[in-house]
Structure 1
Amino acid sequence: MEHDLVVFVPGFLGTRLYRDGEDVWARCGRRLMDSAPAALSEAALPSGLGDAPPEGPFRLDAGALLDVPDSVPGLLSCMGYPDIRAALGDPLDAQFVPFGYDWRLSHRLVARRLKARMGRELDRWRAEVDTYYPDRADDPRVLLVCHATGGLVGRHYLECEGGRETARTLVTLGTPQQGLVQAARLLSGQAVPRDAGPAAAVTARLNEALRGWAVDLPAVVEMLPVHPSVRVEGKSRERYITDSRHPFPGLPGGAVREALAFQEEFRAACDEHRSAGPLPYAVHCLGSVDFPSPEALLLASDASRITDTLLGPGDGTVSRRSALADWTGTDPMLWSGFRNADLASGLALRDAMLAIRAGRPPGGTLAGGEGIALHFPRDLVAAGRPFVIELLGHDLLRRNLRTFTWRSGRNDRQPVVFRQYEPDRYRAELEVPPGRWVVEALVDRPKGRDRRDVTVVAV
């Protein structure tokens, strides 16, 4: 409702991480793109940390929300949250709580920290609310909005940490309810598909660096998919990544057990609560099925290695299969035409939030599909070689198509020339220096936009 405390929980990468006032992850990202040895060492965690907080040199301080695009190659991207207040319907300063946190840590630990923060913030807001909403019908509760993996934190807080007693509404935006197949690729050392030629050595070093870093990150381990997501060439039966009878190649068994335990703990809490009655809070899950998304991994016939990632409908990061929040016992899905990285933007979210805060059903107010999609064959490429970008959409040239690229964190946009090669299909070739680059396409009549980021590494 309009007088509720609005709490925003970002996803993986969505909070800046600092040590002694320095943005550690930003520095790690630059070193990674320069193919520097031990590029990610400053953002590492000790092995076997589990749900404990890191200490000493492993501890990082959570700062402001991310406001520029960032990504972990082969896993996921975040476009940042520069307009999150507007996207949430412009709550009052005293009414809005952005919850930044160390996204490397266990979602369990972060959920406990969210619980402590919510206790303080809700007490504060209840003491102040009369000043702003003197005619309200009841006391304020929490309206929890969570982007991407932040939804894993939010739902754990609600079902496992007593948050049900304080929440009125949970809104998730592109949350991988059943995990990401990309996490299995990353943790098995195959996050970025290997190319032939001079870039092969770069890709091998990058995969090794990413795996060595991520295998000790509880948040990444807890992203492992728990839906049927493995297929073997020549066989029709789908398998689970967690199937101990058919171990996934290169994936640490301990990581699989941790992922399964995390999901089972949450499901057990849901089952226990459901026996007492329906959820005491409303749930709305914003997702998309407009973009090809990793849905399953194809293994060689001897199950020794990944040969391909199989795509299905989704938001470009989370497949429809994983986005479904079946734990609610209802159908809370709201489908929109935006990518995962953009689901927390004003274009995707504002109309829905205005309806939710006013106590109206949001289904009829969601922004429609954009009808335009960028496709990168790879989200990581080697510098010094041109790479291809494809653009799909109907009648784009007559709809005032504009396309640009820029380095993340800068404003000097450069035009990109797309040429039509088939009906509704366009292609451009781009060559840029090492860095993280964003490509954006916009059209009118009706208005549409799509953005993608690509990481260019030094060879």
Structure 2
Amino acid sequence: MRHPIVLVPGFLGSVLDGPTGPLWAPGKPLLQTLAELRDPDTARHPLTLPGDTSSVRASRLFPDVAVLPGLLRTTGYARTVGWVREHFAVTEAPGGGLLTFPYDWRLDNRVHARRLAEVIDLHVAEFRERTGTADAKAVVIAHGMGGLIARYYVEVLGGWRDCRALITLGTPHRGSVRALDTLTGGFRHLPGVRTLTRGFPSVHQLLPVYSVIDTGAGHIRIEDAAPLPGVRPDLVGDGLGFHREIAAAAAYNAESFPAYTHQHVTLPLVGTRQSGTLQSARWNGHRVVCSAEPPGALVPPVLADGDGVVPRVSAMPPALPEDRCRFVAAAHSALQSPRVLTGRLLELLVRLQSPGPLDVRGPSDQLARVAPAISSEVDDAYAGEEPATLRARVVGAARPPRRLLATVTREDGETLSLVLLEVAPARYEVRSALSAGLYDVEIGADSGSPVPEAVQDCFAVLPRAAS
């Protein structure tokens, strides 16, 4: 090991402990969690201030499935940490080569970036002393919103000097329409999600910064639209400022420091082929309706996909050449899974531990679209009063499979095998009565020409009282 590895999770990816017990943690009932995260008297947390005086602590990475219905879901990070330990023989001891960075994902991401700079500086110094590797730098792997935190650290705070590489997994470098949909519409079974997220600076920093609002006379940016329901104008402006700080610093660094382009590399892993990824929104003066239609001529229809949460165009940082990106047919919730990391990043991560120049060119976009893929269309959560309908589709197959096979695993380890039957050309679904809880799901095929690769995802089934 020449360079320590830093893992930065995405939104929801950190356990939060409050003054009287856990606020966001495995096994805690979702409805109770939503109430406590929203209640300032319970959370006792100044959401727009640094965490120095806060009684809420982000204690560790969230290990397993976590779902905030209507906004995001993730399969968790225990398997990611295990994968890094297995392949690189690292530990989380001081200077041990692995640093995990939990954070309070409700806050302004600038707060976390400053703390990330502090803990990376300390860990790298300890690693250099322990190993005698004087030129050691951090290799940062960041999922989702964690990539925005890491980019602020790298670009605005000068972290590129001590960062060998930044690998972003489905990071919304240009924002996500899913955040707009949550703030303006919420989740039909849990209206409290909309109320909860409206006060979070972080969610407003996830809003799209490009032209996605269709007014009927063209597409405009959110900041140029009339005040939208559920969206706070002050936090919209702050979120846009956050992205502008990153862009301005990146341009300045590239122009001012010759070492910037030689000592550091940013490489995005872009999730694709998930056809339900929201791309744009229509504002009729009364309500916002988000859809998977591309935002006008900005995005060709063939590229109007993504990982189910982050559009393809957003997961590619502005001004970064396309050949610096790597593409994978996967859902956002599982981009940090060992399956994806082994298939797409293991060789790169091994190469980063060696001296010499680094070739970061990934497969072209055209090559990435050739192989057939499964698009997961499971919901974030299902009402407990009715059977869950799991849906998927197959894209890019000359001869779609006759059926899809799903392995569904509940949080307590109970496993169920389901068959998704074709209900329309290349579209599949199955209905199943599932007990309340959090579920991993892997959807694959045993036929087709060629056979599409399996996709991983997750979802929640709500208690009956929540329906």
What's 1:294 paired with?
A: 278
Following the alignment from structure 2 to structure 1, what is the Cα–Cα distance between the partners of residues 13 and 34? 24
Partner in structure 1 of residue 119 of structure 2: 117
Q: Where does residue 169 of structure 2 map in the other structure? A: 173
Match of 2:254 in 1: 274
Shift of 1:425: 2.9
Aligned partners of 1:84, 1:43: CA distance in 2, in Å? 34
Q: Determine the structure 1 residue equivalent to 2:3.
A: 4
- Aligned to 1:318, what secondary structure does the other structure show? coil
Distance 1:402 1:55, change over 3 A: same
Question: What amino acid maps onto 1:110 in structure 2?
Answer: H
Aligned length: 428
Any idea what the Cα deviations from partners look like across 1:378-397, whole Å, max 9, x if unmatched?
A: 43332212343223235676
Kept in 2: contact 1:9–1:147 (CA 8 A):
yes
Q: Which amino acid aligns with 2:350?
A: R
Is 1:332 aligned to 2:314, yes or no?
no
Q: Deviations over 1:276-297 (max 9, x none)?
A: 1453411110012211211111
CA RMSD of aligned residues (A): 3.1
Compared CA separation, residues 44 and 336, structure 1 to 2 (3 A) = farther
Q: Summarize deviations over 1:135-165 as a string: whole Å, max 9, x none.
A: xxx6211111111110001000011112122
Q: Secondary structure, in 3 states, of the residue corresponding to 2:267?
A: strand
1:63-212 matches, cutoff 5 A? 63-85=59-81, 87-88=83-84, 89-93=87-91, 94-130=96-132, 139-188=135-184, 190-192=185-187, 194=188, 203=189, 206-207=190-191, 209-212=192-195
- Deviation string 1:45-103 (CA, Å, 9 cap, x unpaired) is 679742422745xx322222222111211111111112224544434221111112222
Sequence identity (%): 24
Q: Tell me the SS of whatever aligns to 1:165.
A: helix
State the partner residue of 1:345: 337
CA-CA distance at 1:236 after TM superposition: 4.3
Equivalent residues of 1:215, 1:255 under 8 A apart: no
Give the Å deviation of 1:337: 1.5
- Do residues 449 (structure 1) and 448 (structure 2) align? no
Higher relative contact order (CA 8 A, sep 6+): 1
TM-score (norm 2): 0.82
Give the direction of change, closer, same or farther, for the CA distance of 1:328–1:35 in structure 2 (3 Å limit): closer
Corresponding residue for 1:307?
Answer: 289
* C-alpha distance after superposition, 1:250-281 (max 9, x if no partner): 32211211111211222222222222145341
Deviations 1:298-351 (A, max 9, x none): 223xx2102342353101110012111124467521111111111111221125
For 1:223, the equivalent position in structure 2 comes to 206
2:226 corresponding residue in structure 1: 246
* Kept after mapping to 1: 8 A contact 2:5/2:139: yes
Deviations 1:392-425 (A, max 9, x none): 23567679x5323233x22101222322234433
**Within the alignment, does 1:354 sit opposite 2:356 as a pair?**
no
Equivalents in 1 of 2:105, 2:34: separation in Å?
23
